[in-house]
């Protein structure tokens, strides 16, 4: 578990950095028109991935980890549901390619969307492999694949330069698809020895209804989370001048950092808690959850606080001084993304108990409320929009916390609340310092961040909020399999 958490964090960072590197290259190499086509295709694929990427993975993770069902039956039926979802979007992209060109006023989009259609099944199979590894608590394996894919995806850059210099859009599609296929082949080879590790279950059948509900329920929840964090950018683009849309996009790029980091916690907590609950080890499950929430508030929340407090310096140093106009928005978005990340972890904790009704209701209500809220508040500027985003995600987090406390137990112990108080103090101190001393060089600012983060973590250790030995024990504690054998979770295997 310890190794898996660290490697998942590294994988999320690698994905984030690789994406930025490819877009930085395309922005300078491709023409504005070609780069615009790349952005259009990726935007459509990102929307389709919302339905393909999370539902099957989380459903496999929970149902395999619980040991209630035959693991092979879980995989076969979940894969069948995933295949049906993939087929729908493949047909939309491949057969409906002319419609994309017609709707977007560009006939050249036809062939690009036909090629892009093949990325959907590749992504669908890739996340199935991740879900199987997560369910077996082979977190090191799934984290390796999550890290390997973005690294190999960087091969898109030389592929465009050497093979597709005049067709950068095709180069992007070929590079992404090739990287995913290579990752799938390696993942399948890594899964073959683990086939015998799949649970035989306790005799409880895994019905087709269970496969469909689990996949679609998780998909709905992550669609809600993604739209809450993304739809505001589209609203700004539609309602405000292009200049403000650019400023808001710049702020959002940094605001989402903590959300991506917290996804590593969500990947870990679902199968771990699900398995412990299935073994009637509720106290140990609650202890694991408390440990992960302590790490989230002690190690990830300070990043949100620092980015929020120093937003003017960060935007001016990375982009240009003009982007400081979005500093108030970034100050809110940094916390908004953190709140949504915690909301995801809380709901994964709830869903480990196999009851997804609360998450389903939260998703539907959020989607019904957030979009109109964003449309109304955008009329008052990007800062008002960011404030409404922060308020919406804070509300979702608070409601989820109350439900987790009622059904599962209080995942916020005394040390976590102390860490939260230290985060607030850090925000105040960094806000004062940022107003007194401006840092305009990006590398210098990153160095300041590193020093502050290290000092803050050392302070938490000093005052007893973080107990390094206790954290190691929590993340590597042996748990008993149903047959009485021990599993060393620290190996992530």
Per-residue pLDDT tens digits for 65-97 = 888 888 899 999 999 999 999 999 899 888 888
On whether both 379 and 450 belong to a single domain, the answer is yes
In the DSSP assignment, the letter for residue 488 is E
What residues in the chain have per-residue pLDDT under 50?
477-493
Q: What is the mean pLDDT of the chain?
A: 84
pLDDT of amino acid 472:
66
On whether both 186 and 330 belong to a single domain, the answer is no
Q: What is the residue range of 11's domain?
A: 1-206
On whether both 314 and 388 belong to a single domain, the answer is yes
On whether both 113 and 247 belong to a single domain, the answer is no
Alpha carbons 146 and 163: distance in angstroms, whole number:
26
- Listed in sequence order, the DSSP H helices in 53-198 are 55-66, 71-95, 97-104, 109-116, 119-135, 139-153, 156-162, 168-191
- Listed in sequence order, the DSSP H helices in 256-356 are 257-278, 282-295, 301-309, 311-318, 327-351
Looking at the DSSP bridge assignments, the partners of residue 480 are: 486
Q: Examine residue 244 and state whether it is found in any structural domain, yes or no.
A: yes
| pTM of the entire predicted model | 0.76
Domain closes at, from 151, 176, 206: 206
pLDDT in tens, 431-444: 999 988 888 888 99
Give the up-direction half-sphere exposure of residue 309: CA atoms within 13 A in the CB hemisphere: 24
On whether both 75 and 52 belong to a single domain, the answer is yes
pLDDT of amino acid 146:
87
pLDDT of amino acid 354:
65
Looking at the DSSP bridge assignments, the partners of residue 487 are: 479
In the DSSP assignment, the letter for residue 313 is H
Rg (CA), the chain: 22
Q: Examine residue 211 and state whether it is found in any structural domain, yes or no.
A: no
Q: Examine residue 31 and state whether it is found in any structural domain, yes or no.
A: yes
Q: Examine residue 132 and state whether it is found in any structural domain, yes or no.
A: yes
Q: Examine residue 364 and state whether it is found in any structural domain, yes or no.
A: yes
Give the DSSP letter string of 369-423: HHHHHHHHHHTT-HHHHHHHHHHHHHHHHHHHHHHHHHHT-----HHHHHHHHHH
Give the DSSP letter string of 209-266: HHHHHHHHHHHHHHHHHHHHHHHHHHHHHHHS-HHHHHHHHHHHHHHTHHHHHHHHHH
Residues 6+ apart with CB under 8 A from 321: none
pLDDT of amino acid 3:
63
Alpha carbons 278 and 262: distance in angstroms, whole number:
25
Give the up-direction half-sphere exposure of residue 388: CA atoms within 13 A in the CB hemisphere: 23
């Amino acid at each position: 578990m310890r190794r898996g958490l660290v490697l998942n964090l590294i994988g999320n960072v690698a994905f984030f950095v690789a994406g930025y590197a490819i877009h930085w290259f395309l922005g300078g190499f491709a023409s504005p028109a070609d780069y615009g086509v790349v952005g259009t295709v990726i935007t459509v694929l990102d929307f389709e991935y919302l339905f393909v990427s999370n539902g099957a993975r989380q459903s496999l993770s929970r149902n395999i980890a619980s040991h209630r069902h035959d693991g092979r039956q879980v995989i076969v039926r979940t894969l069948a549901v995933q295949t049906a979802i993939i087929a729908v979007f493949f047909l939309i992209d491949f057969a409906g390619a002319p419609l994309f060109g017609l709707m977007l006023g560009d006939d050249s989009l036809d062939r690009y969307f036909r090629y892009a259609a093949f990325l959907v099944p590749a992504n669908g199979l890739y996340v199935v492999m991740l879900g199987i590894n997560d369910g077996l608590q082979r977190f090191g394996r799934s984290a390796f694949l999550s890290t390997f894919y973005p690294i190999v995806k960087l091969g898109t850059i030389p592929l465009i330069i050497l093979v597709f210099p005049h067709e950068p859009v095709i180069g992007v599609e070929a590079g992404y698809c090739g990287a995913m296929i290579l990752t799938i082949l390696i993942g399948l080879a890594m899964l073959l020895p683990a086939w015998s590790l799949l649970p035989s279950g306790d005799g409880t059948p895994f019905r087709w209804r269970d496969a469909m509900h689990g996949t679609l329920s998780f998909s709905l929840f992550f669609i809600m989370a993604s739209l809450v964090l993304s739809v505001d950018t589209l609203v700004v683009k539609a309602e405000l001048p292009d200049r403000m849309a650019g400023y808001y996009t710049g702020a959002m790029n940094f605001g989402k950092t903590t959300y991506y980091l917290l996804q590593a916690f969500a990947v870990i907590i679902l199968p771990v808690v699900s398995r412990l609950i299935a073994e009637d080890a509720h106290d140990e499950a609650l202890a694991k959850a408390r440990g992960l929430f302590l790490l989230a508030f002690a190690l990830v929340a300070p990043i949100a606080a620092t980015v929020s407090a120093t937003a003017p310096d960060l935007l001016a140093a990375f982009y240009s001084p003009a982007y400081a106009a979005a500093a108030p928005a970034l100050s809110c978005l940094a916390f908004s993304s953190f709140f949504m990340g915690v909301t995801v972890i809380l709901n994964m904790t709830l869903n480990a108990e196999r009851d997804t009704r609360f998450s389903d209701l939260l998703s539907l209500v959020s989607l019904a409320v957030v979009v109109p809220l964003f449309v109304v508040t955008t009329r008052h500027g990007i800062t008002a929009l960011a404030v409404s985003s922060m308020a919406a995600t804070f509300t979702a987090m608070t409601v989820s916390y109350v439900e987790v406390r009622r059904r599962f137990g209080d995942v916020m112990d005394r040390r976590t609340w102390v860490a939260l108080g230290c985060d607030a103090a850090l925000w105040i101190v960094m806000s004062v310092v940022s107003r007194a001393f401006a840092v305009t060089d990006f590398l210098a600012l990153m160095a300041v961040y590193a020093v502050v983060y290290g000092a803050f973590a050392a302070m938490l250790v000093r005052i007893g909020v973080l107990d390094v030995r206790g954290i190691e024990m929590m993340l590597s504690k042996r748990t008993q399999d149903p047959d009485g054998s021990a599993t060393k979770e620290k190996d992530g295997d």
